[in-house]
Structure 1
Amino acid sequence: MSRRILVVTAAVLTLVAGCTSSPEAPESEPPGASLVRDASAALRDVTSVRFDLRTQGALPGFPIRSIEGVATRSGWSTGEVDMQLPTERVQYEYELGHREGASSSGGSATSAVPEGSSAEAARDTTVTLTDSDDVMTTSVVPERFTPANLLAGDGGLHDLLGDATELSTESREDIGDVPTYRVSGTLPQADISELLPGVPDDVAVKFWVTDNPERTLLRVWLQVPPRKQNEGATMIELGLSEHNQPIEVSSSAPAPSS
């Protein structure tokens, strides 16, 4: 009898020891569709953002190699742009729309970006370009690329997130020191062509969404397939930061002449 008790006791102790020494199962990652849906909803509250867009490869009708700056949903944006034209590569400082509170001569050394603006400013598609010699020219930006459209609650980035299919959470990844989830997916050709006309096929996409209740979108990566077999794919990466933070910019550049 005593031997049987010892055997049973040993078996119980072994079972308990095995249970307590097993590592805790890792917490499951949120589904990609849920992360992207939450990030899309969060974009509705974004009124200003700092951005950095870079491309690798050629895309018809999209000469931008890189552009970085700040933008507001009211339609104003300023920063620097690097473009590849048919015969040359050029760099400019740019300003799109009118910043409220600045005088016609450029305003003070720094001016805070207002939270709101008029409907007329939001529809402004004229961009002022200033080269390294302070020579100023103007051009027209397609409306689909204006801040008012890209940050709209029912267009631009919001639609890009909403159009993505086959969403899957790949892993956790830090952007700077901010923990995020990386989500992969596909953008159907018919949908992405509304933003980038001429895209020949579906586009691979990745989104980086913060690992916190805010579910803030911090990065978007696109791989546009080549139009011809002997061409390479085009990569587009957009980084977003300082969402809804007060923005101050230098405004020392001269105003364009009328």
Structure 2
Amino acid sequence: MRYRIWSAVLALAMAGVLTGCADGSGGLPDAGLMMRDAAISAGAMGSAHLLLQSEGTVPGFPLRALEADVSARDGGSAAGTATLPSGSITRFVSDNGKVFSKSDSGTLTPLPSGFPSPSGMVGRDGGLARLLRSLRDPKTTAREDFTGIDAFKIEAMVPAAALAAILPGTTKDATLTVWVRVRGAHIPLRTTLGFPEHPDAHLNVTVSQSQSPGKGSRS
């Protein structure tokens, strides 16, 4: 895979986040400690490549998928594509929290307020860091094989207020599950948000190195 995949929700793959937490001996590391360090690491992200993919009808997420290069610098910016429920794909850009669709000719049209703001997800006060600081009852629940890789499974509850930057308009708490590598760089293998009132709905969020490290552009 071209990018070194990190968890969009947890940012646990930042260097040093899990140092000393998992020794590979079979013990389960402290999830609360990992989440605290992950929040600090997520807040330090200045730019990233985000990918959000929905399964079923995810409350507060009016898309099938969203993919963008984002930056928290200079008020925040992003450029990417969104897959609508119909399956059509639209390009978009954002600047200082305002999101616009972008036509082939370059015409910008403001998108409704319920459209997620990718640039609001990264940075010290971004949605990812706030989400991680707000997790309730995080627990390392298992050490198991995940697609052939030795992994720790971590579960937690996410208060609705902490989901606002990722899922505008969400009014219900969500569950969070992540599988994290035991050895090596402890790269999270998958992170999923679930919704108790919508058991068939899930949102997968990943973040990797930004394709465009500079500030997003309207051009």
TM-score under structure 2 normalisation?
0.68
Structure 1 gap segments, 5+ residues each = 1-24, 98-122
Provide closer, same or farther for how the CA distance between residues 149 and 246 of structure 1 changes in structure 2, counting only shifts above 3 A: closer
- C-alpha displacement of 1:201: 4.0
Q: 1:79 aligns to what?
A: 80
2:207 counterpart of 1:234: no
Matching residue within 92, 98, 101 for 1:128: 101
Q: 1:67 to 1:199 in 2, by over 3 A?
A: closer
In structure 2, list runs of 5 or more residues that go unmatched.
Answer: 1-23
| Corresponding residue pairs, total | 192
Q: What RMSD over aligned residues (CA atoms) do the two structures have, in Å? A: 3.9
Aligned CA distance change for structure 1 residues 126 and 190 (closer, same or farther; 3 Å): closer
Q: CA deviation at 1:30?
A: 1.4
In structure 2, the CA distance between the partners of 1:191 and 1:49, relative to structure 1 (3 Å rule), is closer
Is 1:187 aligned to 2:187, yes or no?
no
Q: Which residue of 2 aligns with 1:119?
A: none
Indicate the percent of aligned positions where both proteins have the same amino acid.
21
Deviation per CA, 1:151-188: give whole Å up to 9, x if none: 131340111112211211233677999x8643111123
- Among 224, 241, 247, which residue is 2:213 paired with? 247
Question: In structure 2, what is the equivalent of residue 37 of structure 1?
Answer: 36
Partner of 1:157: 128
Name the larger-Rg structure. Answer: 1
What letter is aligned with 2:120?
A: N
How far the C-alpha of 1:49 sits from its partner, in A, is 0.9
Aligned-partner Cα distance in 2 for 1:93–1:160 = 27
Deviation at 1:54, TM superposition (A): 0.2
Q: Following the alignment from structure 1 to structure 2, what is the Cα–Cα distance between the partners of residues 175 and 39?
A: 23
Distance in 1 between residues matched to 2:68 and 2:163, nearest whole Å: 24
Which of 165, 168, 177 is residue 206 of structure 1 equivalent to?
A: 177
Structure with the bigger percentage of helix: 1
Is 1:196 matched with 2:167?
A: yes
